[in-house]
Structure 1
């Protein structure tokens, strides 16, 4: 791997590809760069795949061992720890069948994780997004993921309500009367015991890859034990609305519909509030608008 010092010491103009590589590496902290170089003494940055909405940096690198994906978290990041836990605990069945990447290196202290590179195209924006078999496969994959573990939690609903109330106390652009109505509603909800399973946390076409008709899964930064219905959130707000037949195909693959109406309504409200407030804070206007639209629909506005 060529370093900044080596390039500068030659007193020559830095080629564009090296400038891009060095700029990408500059997004990593020194401990992250050290951990990465320790695992891969030689590598080139092939692409910067970061979304640039949060502190997470995502790089594709080429090494003598092949191509890999590097994820590095910022100072306030908590997604990398979740990603590492997911690979250590739950992704095994998907990895064994080639449906998810294998983790090859991790460093919790440095907030760094490296996985194999999965070939293929993102389903979002691809023709596969309109193919009902895509959703049938995604339902089957999710059912297998959820089936790995089950834990009863008598405090989840209370914690989820408290989190929504904290979102509503943070800066946002929800109308004051709507926000007050939401607060009153959330405070009135029951807090029954909840069955928790391993959830992906961001289950929709942006985190599915299609390769020769096979659906694969990426991005485990939100993976955690939650109610199964949380993995229906994103799809219900997007693909299930826009793609005719997608919901039925997905449920056919999943095998059942876990969305008990009252719990599902609470979940949808929480998701809508979180979307609207978080998206405002990071400047994602499209996602914020989706959150506001969800709130209006759920409240009958």
Structure 2
């Protein structure tokens, strides 16, 4: 199958910008998920391989990706755990990164391998340790945001909605320490290349509590696999989770997943979000 031309996937201004950086780059493959307007392209520029990422004007993920790579991924790149940002343009909403060989963890034997989780814990600690801030209104803002999210279209049952609303409204927000976080730390954003784990996709980068990057794993791969959680904590160095705030964090994670995936039509991810909510709400 013939790969699409760059001109078929980007606008004229973006193509001109990419050519000015890379010369006559060609598209090796389109690696986009296809659920949103985010494009992820594997490019070949005279034998050198790159990943190009872009998104539409209303999509904030490319801005977060650029912020992450410009300020916080260097420590990972220097350790060979993330790609280096080579070129970027805010005006054209473009990021060009080194291509990282490897296969996605999800769906392979690496997804449930303790060594993968140990390496992921170590990589996450490198990211988190770079900076810490105190966020006084963080939890209050999130409570308001997720109460509004409940009003959007979704397939969460009415009784579950009442439970969620009651938990949010009864919770007393407090000041929290926040660090640079990935926002979607899980095997579908980990590559493995000859046994070494690497991290991709910083489109949900933001400052959050460190434990927020534990949320997806705790409700997915770690369920029924305590050895994976133990390996991850060994790599990370300690457990930053606190009981009540941790439950609220998992609740927000499940709700955000269920609503977003319903809106973009990703039924398998929606089912995952609904299960995350059920697991959190049914836990004593």
The answer to whether TM tops 0.5 is yes
1:32–1:72 contact (8 Å) kept in structure 2: no
SS of structure 2 residue aligned to 1:197: strand
Q: Distance in 1 between matches of 2:144 and 2:132?
A: 23
Please, which of 129, 139, 144 is the counterpart of residue 157 of structure 1?
139
Please, which of 93, 96, 117 is the counterpart of residue 114 of structure 1?
96
Matches within 5 A, 1:51-130: 51-64=33-46, 66-130=48-112
Q: Distance in 2 between matches of 1:289 and 1:37?
A: 41
Q: Distance in 1 between matches of 2:77 and 2:272?
A: 33
Q: Distance in 2 between matches of 1:236 and 1:25?
A: 42
- Aligned-pair CA distance for 1:243: 4.2
Structure index of larger Rg: 1
Q: In the alignment, which residue of structure 2 is the partner of 1:169?
A: 151
- Once the two structures are overlaid, the 10-residue window that deviates more, 289-298 or 114-123, is 289-298
Q: Distance in 2 between matches of 1:266 and 1:25?
A: 45
Q: In the alignment, which residue of structure 2 is the partner of 1:21?
A: 4
1:71–1:112 contact (8 Å) kept in structure 2: yes
- Once the two structures are overlaid, the 10-residue window that deviates more, 123-132 or 40-49, is 123-132
1:86–1:220 contact (8 Å) kept in structure 2: yes
What RMSD in Å do the two structures reach over aligned CA positions? 1.5
Q: Distance in 1 between matches of 2:7 and 2:240?
A: 43
Please, which of 249, 267, 287 is the counterpart of residue 269 of structure 2?
287
2:219–2:279 contact (8 Å) kept in structure 1: no
SS of structure 2 residue aligned to 1:142: helix
- Aligned-pair CA distance for 1:199: 0.4
- Aligned-pair CA distance for 1:47: 0.5
SS of structure 2 residue aligned to 1:221: coil
TM-score by length of 2: 0.95
Residue ranges of structure 2 left out of the alignment (5+ in a row): none
- Aligned-pair CA distance for 1:45: 0.4
- Aligned-pair CA distance for 1:25: 4.0
Q: Distance in 2 between matches of 1:91 and 1:159?
A: 27
> Number of aligned pairs?
283
Offset from partner CA, 1:211-263 (integer Å, 9 cap, x none)? 11111111111111111111011111211125451111001111111110001
Q: Where does structure 1 differ by over 4 angstroms across 4 or more consecutive aligned residues? A: none
2:28–2:43 contact (8 Å) kept in structure 1: yes
Matches within 5 A, 1:165-204: 165-204=147-186
TM-score by length of 1: 0.90
1:39–1:105 contact (8 Å) kept in structure 2: yes
Please, which of 140, 145, 151 is the counterpart of residue 127 of structure 2?
145
- Aligned-pair CA distance for 1:176: 2.1
SS of structure 1 residue aligned to 2:213: helix
Q: Distance in 2 between matches of 1:148 and 1:224?
A: 13
Does residue 205 of structure 2 align to residue 223 of structure 1? yes
Q: In the alignment, which residue of structure 2 is the partner of 1:247?
A: 229
Residue ranges of structure 1 left out of the alignment (5+ in a row): 1-15
Offset from partner CA, 1:43-62 (integer Å, 9 cap, x none)? 11001000011110000000
